[in-house]
Chain A
Amino acid sequence: MPNLFQLVLQIAVILVAARVVGFLFQKINQPQVMGEMVAGILLGPSLLGWLAPGASAALFPPASLGYLNALSQVGLVVFMFVVGLALNPSELKGYGHAAVLTSHVSIAAPFCLGGLTALYLYPRLSDDAVAFTGFALFIGAAMSITAFPVLARILSERGLVRSRMGTLAIACAAVDDVTGWCILAYIVVLVRVTHAARPAWVTIAGSIVYVLIMLFVVRRLLPAFEREFRKRDRLSDNLVAVMVVLVLVSALATEWLGIHLLFGAFLMGAIMPKTPEFTRYVLHKFESVTVVLLLPLFFAYTGLRTRIGVGGGRAIWFYSVLVIVVAITGKLGGSMFAARLSGMPWREAASLGILMNTRGLMELVILNIGLDIGVISPAMFSIMVLMALVTTFMTTPLLEWVYPTRLFRAQVDEVQENAA
């Protein structure tokens, strides 16, 4: 039985820390979610556990973390559904060559550089229980991810969603996310299959059957939700409950198949009807509790597993800098040069690269999966968490420096004038 007093106290402390640090980060023009991620790290061994180990051990004893993790995983299942729901493949249409080239290069360049870095890091931060292939593919995938939700929030907070740059960045990030999750699903299967009780063919054949059922059966039934929404301008509580059950069943199916809970939730969101009013309504229904209550628990759980600067010997800081430089070079550099090659001016190409370099909480989700399945070590996890924080933090100031808001706004006005 969980110690309810302790669990409720933990949740209260986490929420207060998340809101306070989030507020402070907003004051320095950072997105709220960036502050919430940092709050999670501050509550872990990297700060609270280091400054006040007694208080940290009393507030977050290891035996109590299972309940916190369970709550945060439920939150992530709902959050991944929301991410899938917000994705709209039609956003890519109309951007032609630039979007296709940029999105492909923004995956391929960091992926290959991540793989190259893995050659150096594998003997230093991994062990022989992990095959090099799994390690290298995971590092590549983790380097190539873009945080679609954080990116959307940064653009929205700066009023740039409708700019040419903003829409192109969102379209590319959507492609990156789908591709990144497909690659990650493959890696999870690859790593788990060698340790699973279930034969590999069950996982592979089952995954194919599951995806086909989702795309050709479930997807055709989902517009019923939208029709009901149009009739009444809302969904009844019973229908919302049915939607939640569908998300959970889909998540359970992928977990049973040996992929991961989150893939099922993500796919269910991705195949939901995409009319703007319906999407907005469902997002509103699901987002509040998830973003305000459950995601901060996930950030705190991640922070409790993160020991910045610990493990891997004294060279850990060198490895951290190396990973950050490689991640930025691959993602920012790759996207920037691809955009430039497809005819964008340098300033816009650089801005797109900066936006694509935002990794945010999607990176934390992926890293937690990597640590759970044992493909990365605790030190590698901490290094990658640091990289996620740095690349997310740098987005807003770097974007303002390269492409100030006033220039962006002028571009938006110009687009609107041309449209008129």
Chain B
Amino acid sequence: MLALLGILEAGRNIRAPLSIAGDWTLEFDPAAGCANGPADLRQPALNISQSGSEALITLNDGHATSLEATVNGAVLKAGSLTASIAGKPAARTLAGAMNFAGCAPVPFRGVRQVSRKRDE
């Protein structure tokens, strides 16, 4: 029991990567002027499956396009997406930009839907 308490005490100061797992609704900047890309995404636009600093982003674009991503501090980087992560785990947000074919990067803000369930 003492050993377990010691382990739990030692673990208090260990920091894990910021949580981004779950479904995300994205709001794109309408002024960005990209006709196709954002419109193809249905809400929730992203599903993120996370294991530590590695994540797999699945776009809700009808083809379930997936992107491998990494969480480095408060920055999320995937192939066509870069965002900064903010807020506490229960009210986490993303703010960044996403690339679509033929467009300049489109800024977006993302809000995580409340769910504790992790799924593939």
Residues from chain A with a CB closer than 8 A to the CB of B11 are 118-119, 122, 132-133, 136
Contacts known (A119-B11, A136-B7, A307-B120); A380 close to B18, Cβ less than 8 A:
no
Judge if A195 is at the interface, Cβ distance under 8 Å: yes
| Residue pair B89, A128 in contact (C-beta under 8 Å) | yes
Residues from chain A with a CB closer than 8 A to the CB of B118 are 371-372, 374, 377-378
| Residue pair A119, B10 in contact (C-beta under 8 Å) | yes
Residues from chain A with a CB closer than 8 A to the CB of B10 are 119
Sorting the interface of chain B by its residue count into under 10, 10 to 19, 20 to 34 or 35 or more gives: 20 to 34
| Residue pair B14, A119 in contact (C-beta under 8 Å) | yes
CB contact between B16 and one of A111, A130, A140, A307 (< 8 Å): that residue: A130
Scoring B4, B21, B90 by chain A CB atoms within 10 A of each residue's CB, the highest score goes to B4
A residues contacting the other copy or chain, number (CB 8 A): 39
C-beta contact mask, B32-69 vs A, less than 8 Å → 1, else 0?
Answer: 00000000000000000111111010000000000000
Q: What number of A-B contacts does a CB cutoff of 8 Å give?
A: 107
CB contact between A126 and one of B7, B49, B52, B119 (< 8 Å): that residue: B52
CB contact between A115 and one of B4, B90, B116, B119 (< 8 Å): that residue: B4
CB contact between B17 and one of A119, A123, A195 (< 8 Å): that residue: A123
Residues from chain B with a CB closer than 8 A to the CB of A192 are 116
A112 to B50, CA, bound (A): 26
CB contact between B8 and one of A136, A377, A380 (< 8 Å): that residue: A136
Contacts known (A125-B52, A127-B18); A374 close to B116, Cβ less than 8 A:
yes
A133 to B16, CA, bound (A): 12
| Residue pair B8, A128 in contact (C-beta under 8 Å) | no
In the complex, which residues 57-76 of chain A have their Cβ closer than 8 Å to any Cβ of chain B? 62
Smallest beta-carbon distance A383→chain B, Å: 9
CB contact between B21 and one of A112, A127, A372, A373 (< 8 Å): that residue: A127
In the complex, which residues 48-107 of chain B have their Cβ closer than 8 Å to any Cβ of chain A? 49-54, 56, 71, 89-90
Task: Across the interface, name the chain B residue whose C-beta is closest to A307.
Answer: B120
Provide the main secondary structure of the chain A interface.
Answer: helix
Smallest beta-carbon distance B74→chain A, Å: 11
A124 to B4, CA, bound (A): 21
Judge if A311 is at the interface, Cβ distance under 8 Å: yes
Smallest beta-carbon distance B2→chain A, Å: 10
Judge if A312 is at the interface, Cβ distance under 8 Å: yes
| Residue pair A312, B54 in contact (C-beta under 8 Å) | yes
Residues from chain B with a CB closer than 8 A to the CB of A372 are 117-118
C-beta contact mask, A150-179 vs B, less than 8 Å → 1, else 0?
Answer: 000000000000000000000000000000
C-beta contact mask, B1-30 vs A, less than 8 Å → 1, else 0?
Answer: 001100110111011111111000000000
Judge if A345 is at the interface, Cβ distance under 8 Å: no
Judge if A92 is at the interface, Cβ distance under 8 Å: no
Smallest beta-carbon distance B1→chain A, Å: 9
Judge if A294 is at the interface, Cβ distance under 8 Å: no
Contacts known (A128-B16, A378-B49); A311 close to B7, Cβ less than 8 A:
no
Judge if A379 is at the interface, Cβ distance under 8 Å: yes
A116 to B118, CA, bound (A): 24
Residues from chain A with a CB closer than 8 A to the CB of B89 are 127-129
Judge if A313 is at the interface, Cβ distance under 8 Å: yes
CB contact between A112 and one of B3, B14, B16, B54 (< 8 Å): that residue: B3
Residues from chain A with a CB closer than 8 A to the CB of B19 are 127-130
Residues from chain B with a CB closer than 8 A to the CB of A125 are 51-52
Smallest beta-carbon distance B19→chain A, Å: 4
Q: 6 closest Cβ contacts across the A-B interface? A: A379-B51, A129-B19, A127-B19, A132-B11, A377-B51, A311-B51
Residues from chain A with a CB closer than 8 A to the CB of B52 are 123-127, 312-313, 377, 379
